[in-house]
Structure 1
Amino acid sequence: MSEFGVAGSDVEDGAPAMKLSRINASSQTTSAAAYRYVMFGFIFLMYMISYADRAALSIALPALGQEFGLGSVQLGWISSSFLWSYFILNLPSSILLDTIGPRLTGVIAVALWSSAMVYGGTVSTIRQFIASRVFLGIGEAPTFGVGSSVVRAWALPKERGSVLTTLLTGQQIGLALGTLAGAFLIVRFGWRFEFAALGAIGLLWAALWWFFYKDSPYKPVAEKKGPITRAQFFSLFRSRSFYAVVITQCLGNYFNFLVMSWLPVYFIHKFHQNVFQSGAKSAVCYVSASFGAILLGRFLETSVLRRRTEIHARRIIVCTCMVLSASVGLLPFMTSMSLTLVVMGVCLAGMIAGSGANTALLADLLDDGSKIGTVTGLTLTFSNLSGLFAPIVTGYIVAGTGSFDIAWFGCSGALVIAGLTSLFMVSGPIRTLFNKA
């Protein structure tokens, strides 16, 4: 029985025993409701550490390029290197997650990528550094599968969107802290120390996760643990709604990885900022976007889901957020840093809220929640393939045109398509349980 399960009673008299059982049940339910915030807090920190480690490279790119003699094209390839393994292992690691559970998967994943960070700070050749990024991608592959599994197990259906959006802001807080702290550490101690320090934080999280993790008492009885079957896997590709979720995630993720890889360099390039200034401005964007995403996601979830009760109603939220983030196409026309920060903050807020709503939409539509880890992993496999090209393509654009303008215009059009895809293609549940079809 779960630690939060209803305790038995040794009282022989029926009525007192029943009363005591109800008291115990109420007490255990209250305990479970409170403990879920501990679980959400760990997932928030995991996302934050993950993206802080990714931001460590973006702010270190100028120093790395100078030390190893690299240009923008080469730096673009290096920025995408962790995605090579991350993309390939999203699905296999998520299948493993559904088999061995979030506790062990989380420990292995975070410990591995954090060790890769520490190793990255000790390398002597660019090939060794790329190898460290590949190992970082291996570790980070099941990250969002772990998060989706915990949210599916612990969050109430009506709050999944706002919970996921709030947790996804951990990405932006991580990017903010990673760029700001990274810039400080690079200026004071060098980029190698930056990598080692951030890696040590992840190792601490892994130890605490093993100690504090608990299974949720809220899992429906009908959902059984175990790997997804071949028939269930291929049934996903017969669902129009699944394709819509994947396409939306792919287009949103392209913008996400472009910003994550190049934003500090963009500020240096366009506004002639130094490393610390560009890190601070990037942090402002990420933090403001985090608060904006929480407010936007909560407002839309409350206003839309109060009036719409169909299972795919959340697609309206996804569309609204993605179209809002398409305002990134205005960046080429911004001539001041202040306006640029406002536009980027709004775009990132829309992207975060839209991604959170899209992930919650997937959980809403999936008929067998026990397979949420695998289905999330499959979705991320496609979306990270899209994200893999973002830093590379942007590197070539900057090298060929001398500016980021074409990159921002392309993202704007893609985000509009993402919103419309969700609005018009999502049409019903994603079925894997054939006996319920």
Structure 2
Amino acid sequence: MRARRRLRGMRTALLVLLLLIGIVNYLDRSTLSIANHAVQHDFGVGPAAMGLLLSVFSWAYAFGQLPAGGLLDRFGPRRVLGGGLLLWSLAQAASGLVGGFKQLLAARAVLGLGEAPAYPGGAKVVATWWPRDSRGAPTGVFQMSSTLGPAIGPPLLTWLMLGFGWRWMFVVAGAVGVVLALVWFAVCRDRRDDREEPVADRVSVREWLGLLRHRTTWGMIIGFSGVVYSVYLYLTWLPAYLEGERGMSVAATGFALVLPYLAGTLGMFCGGAVGDVLVRRGIRTTLARKAPICCGLVVGGLCTVPVALTASTALALVCVCAAQFFINSASAGAWSLATVVADERITASLGSLQNFGGYFGGAFAPLITGVIVERTGSFVAALLAAGAIAVVAALSYAVLVREPVGVDRRPVVAKR
């Protein structure tokens, strides 16, 4: 009984911390989109250059996934996720102290590298502390941070920027992350640190590379790029869209942005929980986990079409909320899939590969959107493209993700 209470307490503490870390993670990503116009004015750059500044984070974040997953599986999320949190928080604070565009570009790249272990680390924690048939709900809870952060961020960050300037907004956000990193190190324990649990073998390079031989892995990599493309288009350009295309004021935009992200938060929880329900009803695990992904992507992509074409700002905002609900439902389903489709020992590696694909492809969303807006003077074509990409991503999950991912654990034989 005492061991059970201890386990329950650690699960609760870890889930709360993962939720807070994820919120800070997305607050830090959101600062630049909130300061979009102010940074363009101060540094004298246009939408295309701003698209590059927004995209460099995602490219650094994407390539940071490749070592992050292996490091998490090898050394555990306590050290790797905590170290990443500390690094990205320092980079975030430094973004407020830069003297020019190139320095801000470098700070955003370090921010992306530091944030890389966050979500694979969360998947690793869930895979090692929760049973296989109950991982969807905790995954959905910590994934809710990716919508709660942007929901909390706009009014809070807008208030900080209007009151103290965009530079202090960056510094304060970074300081919050440093404090949270210290709490993580003090509270978190990796499961293998628990003396009641056997120590798992460390993941080898052969096992990591072996993941790339599976069609399921590639389906997750390609499909998640469509998820992140849609999510990141809204995350990086929605404030500018509401201000420029719909004529809303900065203050009104800050509060209007809360609604889509609250809808996305609900979608996150539903996407994870629905998978748990389907598994408990006897549906094959892989099918149960990918069903919310495919449905969410298709419906979310279709909801993006009226956002582009309607003349009504109110209707456009309603459709943005619907798109956020379904796309984020797919996102939570994708991370739930990563926790069950492979051995727990290599969950973070598989999750980081999926996330690499997501952010490598998704990184083009702000850049492509910026170029399209600069050339056409409108967001219409950019939004329609995002809807089509979401449907293609659904097909990737449906067609390629079919079987669990096996792990190559053969010993390495020395050549004679």
Q: CA deviation at 1:419?
A: 1.8
- SS class of match (1:227): coil
Distance 1:310 1:213, change over 3 A: closer
> What displacement does 1:31 show?
2.1
Question: In the alignment, is residue 205 of structure 1 matched against residue 205 of structure 2?
Answer: no
Bigger drift between 188-197 and 90-99 goes to 90-99
CA shift in 2, pair 1:227/1:303, >3 Å: closer
Residue number in structure 1 paired with 2:248? 273
Matched with 1:21 is none
Q: CA shift at 1:434, angstroms? A: 5.2
Report the equivalent of 2:366: 391
Mapped pair 1:63 → 2:15: no
2:217–2:350 CA contact under 8 A, matched in 1: no
Equivalence for 1:13: none
| Residues 223 and 393, structure 2, Cα contact 8 Å, conserved in 1 | yes
Whether the aligned pair in 1 keeps the contact of 2:140 and 2:271 (CA below 8 Å) is: no
Contact 1:312 1:364 in 2 (8 A): no
Aligned counterpart, 1:329:
305
The correspondence for 1:339, drawn from 282, 303, 315, is 315
- Aligned 8 A contact 2:76 2:190 in 1: no
Aligned twin of 1:306: 281
Secondary structure at the aligned position of 1:432 is classed as coil
The answer for the alignment partner of 1:148 in structure 2 is 123
Alignment match, 1:189: 164
TM-score, normalising length: structure 1:
0.88
What amino acid is the match of 2:116? A
- Deviation digits for residues 269-324 of structure 1, max 9, x if unmatched? 11111222112111221122212432454346425652413444322222111112
Which residues in structure 2 correspond to 1:51-130 (within 5 Å)? 51-130=26-105
Size of the aligned set, in residue pairs, is: 408
1:41 correspondence with 2:16? yes
Which residue is 2:389 aligned to? 414
Contact 2:55–2:367 at 8 Å: present in 1 too?
yes
Contact 1:172–1:290 under 8 Å retained in 2: yes
Q: Aligned equivalents of 1:266 and 1:225: distance in 2?
A: 49
Give CA deviations for 1:92-121 in whole Å, capped at 9, x if unaligned: 122222222211112211111111111111
- Compared with structure 1, are the counterparts of its residues 396 and 300 closer, same or farther at alpha carbon in structure 2 (3 Å cutoff)? same
Distance (whole Å) between structure 1 residues aligned to residue 75 and residue 203 of structure 2? 9
Q: Which residue type is aligned with residue 417 of structure 1?
A: V
Q: Which amino acid aligns with 1:262?
A: W
Q: 1:331 to 1:185 in 2, by over 3 A?
A: same
The residue type paired with residue 363 of structure 1 is: T
The 1:373–1:36 alpha-carbon spacing in structure 2 relative to 1, beyond 3 Å, is same
SS at match of 2:144: helix
Question: What is the Cα deviation at residue 428 of structure 1?
Answer: 1.1
Does structure 1 retain, via aligned residues, the 8 Å contact 2:19–2:142?
yes
Q: 2-side partners of 1:155 and 1:350: how far apart?
A: 25
Which of these two proteins has the greater Rg computed from alpha carbons?
Answer: 1
User: Structure 1 stretch 236-245 or stretch 257-266: which is displaced more?
Assistant: 236-245
Mean CA deviation greater in 194-203 or 273-282: 273-282
Q: Distance in 2 between matches of 1:383 and 1:67?
A: 31
> What amino acid does structure 2 have at the position aligned with 1:353?
S
Distance 1:304 1:97, change over 3 A: closer
2:406: which partner in 1?
Answer: 431
Aligned mates of 2:81, 2:203 — CA distance in 1: 17
Give the 3 Å change call, closer, same or farther, for CA 295–429 of structure 1 in structure 2. closer
SS at match of 2:45: coil
TM-superposed CA distance for 1:61, in Å, is: 0.5
Amino acid at match of 2:170: F
Query: Given the alignment, which residue of 193, 203, 227 partners 1:227?
Result: 203
What SS does the corresponding residue of 1:271 show, helix, strand or coil? Answer: coil
Return the alpha-carbon distance in structure 1 between the equivalents of residues 299 and 336 of structure 2: 19
**Could you tell me which residue of structure 1 aligns to residue 379 of structure 2?**
404
Q: Following TM superposition, by how much is the alpha carbon of 1:194 offset from its aligned partner in structure 2, in angstroms?
A: 0.5
What is the identity, as a one-letter code, of the residue corresponding to 2:41?
Q
Paired letter, 1:342? V
Contact 1:319 1:354 in 2 (8 A): yes
Alignment of structure 1 residues 2-13 onto 2, 5 Å: none
CA 1:325–1:88 in 2, change beyond 3 Å: closer, same or farther? same
Partner letter of residue 338 of structure 2? L
Uncovered stretches (5+) of structure 1, i.e. residues with no partner:
1-25
Matched, 1:350 2:326: yes
Counterpart Cα distance in 2 of 1:169 and 1:311: 22
Identical aligned residues as a percent: 27
User: Aligned letter for 1:394?
Assistant: T
Label 1:324 to 1:388 Cα distance change in 2 as closer, same or farther (>3 A).
Answer: same
2:140 corresponds to 1:158: no
5+ residue gaps, structure 2, are: 411-416
Does the 8 A contact of 1:223 with 1:369 survive in 2? no
CA–CA distance in 1 between the matches of 2:346 and 2:274? 29
- The CA RMSD measured in Å over matched residues stands at 2.1
**Native 8 Å contact 1:80 1:391 kept in 2:** yes
2 CA distance for matches of 1:297 and 1:378?
20
